């Protein structure tokens, strides 16, 4: 029993420590990565964009093999192209855009699998249950491979969810600032740059995406491709609505300020509706905590003196 408890505690510590380490590393290298990216794009500003070349989508694809010179990972990528594309998309949505991000993510899968293999093998081989060594090794290998794959994916999905929530929380402020900038006479690119600078302290994740979008607007003539890149990186419904509105306004020549003003009202109303929905769910979510933590205490406080008095009366009467 103690070995099972140690195993569960180890898995929980491993599961909850990875997100904090990832967030710390991402926060440290985010500014350096953005500066390096801006330098690379500025150095290649003389190159023309070819609309028929899919590899020129800034921030989405890379030329050459997915894992560089790593033969093993490239072999796995050739056999599982759909899985590799899904991991690349998840890494983009998590804000991890360095060139070797996919290779480092695969290495983390292998390291997590090896760590879980040794942990499970030590637990199974040192407990009191009579399990043959071969079965313990095979079971540890299977659980290590599956656990390492699943845990790293869960960690990446958690980072994507937190980044998406942060972007969604900043959308109403983004729309309001875009209305102010467009009505003051700034063009779309200048408005996005100014908003990214203003949101740098309050919402750095959204500011990072806007800065990259402003760079792409200067480099890519097709604005629809730029907004599509933004939608793929954020995976946010509000951002998709804003990008479609901006794209249609540019294409048909309609007023940006009017469309954005309507979007600002809708975003504020949606935030209010989400807050009301969460408030309505509060009684349901508090039912189980009240049953397991509050009600027993109330019963002890109310019935405890009565039970003690009855016990004393029965003992004195006997």
Residue 61 has what pLDDT? 39
Q: Nearest to residue 213, comparing CAs of 228, 199, 198, 201?
A: 228
Q: Tell me, what's the pLDDT at 54?
A: 38
Distance in angstroms (rounded) separating the CA atoms of residues 242 and 251:
14
Query: What are the backbone angles phi and psi of residue 113, rounded to the nearest 5°?
Result: -65, -40
Other residues' Cβ atoms within 10 Å of the Cβ of residue 162: 15
Which residue do the tokens 């933004």 mark?
A: 230
Dihedral pair phi/psi, residue 268, rounded to 5°: -65, -40
Task: Say how far residue 239 (Cα) sits from the centre of its chain.
Answer: 16
HSE of 85 in the Cβ direction (CA atoms, 13 Å)? Answer: 6
Q: Which pLDDT value is given to residue 34?
A: 58
- Name every residue whose Cβ is closer than 8 Å to that of residue 210 and which is 6 or more positions away in sequence: 174, 192, 193, 195, 196, 199
pTM of the model: 0.62
pLDDT of the residue at 93: 84
Handedness of CA 45, 51, 54, 60 (dihedral sign): positive
The continuous run of DSSP H or E covering 88 comes out as helix 81-93
Task: Please give the full DSSP string across 120-153, using - where no structure is assigned.
Answer: HHHHHHHSSS---HHHHHHHHHHHHHHHHHHHHH
Instruction: Kindly write down the DSSP assignment for every residue of 167-226, as one continuous string.
Output: HHHHHHHHHHHHHHHHHTT--HHHHHHHHHHHTTTT-HHHHHHHHHHHHHHHH-S-HHHH
User: DSSP letter at 48?
Assistant: P
Angle, helices 188-198 vs 204-219, to 10°: value is 160
Task: State which residues of the chain have pLDDT below 70.
Answer: 1-80, 127-129, 317-318
Q: Can you tell me the distance from the alpha carbon of 6 to that of 107, in angstroms, rounded to the nearest whole number?
A: 26
Residue 3 CA to residue 39 CA, distance in Å, equals 53
Contact indicator for 29, 98 with CB cutoff of 8 Å: yes
Burial class, 274, CB count within 10 angstroms (exposed 0-12 / middle 13-18 / buried 19+): exposed
The upper half-sphere exposure of residue 318, i.e. CA atoms within 13 Å in the direction of its Cβ, equals 6
Residues 6 or more apart whose Cβ sits within 8 Å of residue 178: 191, 192, 195, 242, 256, 260
pLDDT value, residue 27: 53
**Domain spans, the chain:** 2-42+57-159, 166-282
Contact 91, 102 (CB under 8 A): yes
At 49 the pLDDT is 38
For position 56, what pLDDT does the model report? 36
- pLDDT tens digits, one per residue of 104-143: 888 888 888 888 888 888 888 776 667 777 888 888 889 8
Q: Which helix (H) or strand (E) holds 308?
A: helix 295-317
pLDDT of residue 46: 45
The span from the first CA to the last CA of the chain, in angstroms, equals 44
């Amino acid at each position: 029993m103690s070995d099972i408890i140690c195993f569960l505690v180890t898995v929980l510590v491993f599961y909850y420590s990875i997100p904090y380490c990832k967030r710390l590393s991402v926060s440290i290298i985010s500014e350096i990565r953005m500066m390096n990216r801006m330098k690379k794009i500025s150095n290649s500003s003389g190159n023309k964009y070819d609309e028929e070349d899919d590899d020129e989508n800034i921030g989405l694809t890379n030329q050459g093999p997915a894992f560089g010179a790593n033969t093993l990972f490239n072999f796995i990528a050739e056999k599982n192209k759909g899985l590799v594309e899904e991991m690349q998309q998840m890494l983009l949505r998590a804000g991890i855009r360095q060139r070797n991000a996919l290779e480092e993510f695969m290495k983390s899968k292998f390291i997590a699998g090896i760590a879980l293999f040794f942990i499970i093998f030590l637990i199974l081989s040192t407990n009191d249950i009579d399990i043959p060594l071969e079965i313990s090794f095979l079971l540890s290998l299977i659980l290590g491979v599956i656990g390492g794959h699943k845990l790293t994916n869960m960690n990446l999905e958690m980072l994507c969810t937190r980044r998406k929530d942060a972007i969604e929380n900043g959308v109403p402020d983004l729309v309001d600032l875009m209305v102010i900038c467009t009505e003051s006479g700034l063009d779309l690119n200048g408005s996005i740059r100014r908003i990214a600078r203003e949101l740098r302290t309050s919402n750095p994740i959204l500011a990072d995406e806007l800065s990259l979008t402003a760079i792409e607007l200067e480099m890519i003539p097709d604005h629809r491709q730029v907004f599509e890149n933004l939608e793929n990186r954020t995976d946010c419904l509000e951002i998709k609505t804003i990008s479609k509105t901006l794209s249609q306004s540019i294409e048909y020549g309609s007023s940006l300020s009017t469309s954005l003003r309507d979007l600002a009202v809708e975003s504020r109303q949606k935030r209010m509706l989400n807050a009301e929905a969460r408030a309505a769910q509060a009684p349901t979510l508090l039912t189980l905590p009240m049953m397991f933590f509050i009600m027993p205490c109330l019963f002890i406080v109310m019935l405890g003196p009565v039970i003690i008095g009855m016990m004393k009366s029965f003992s004195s009467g006997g």
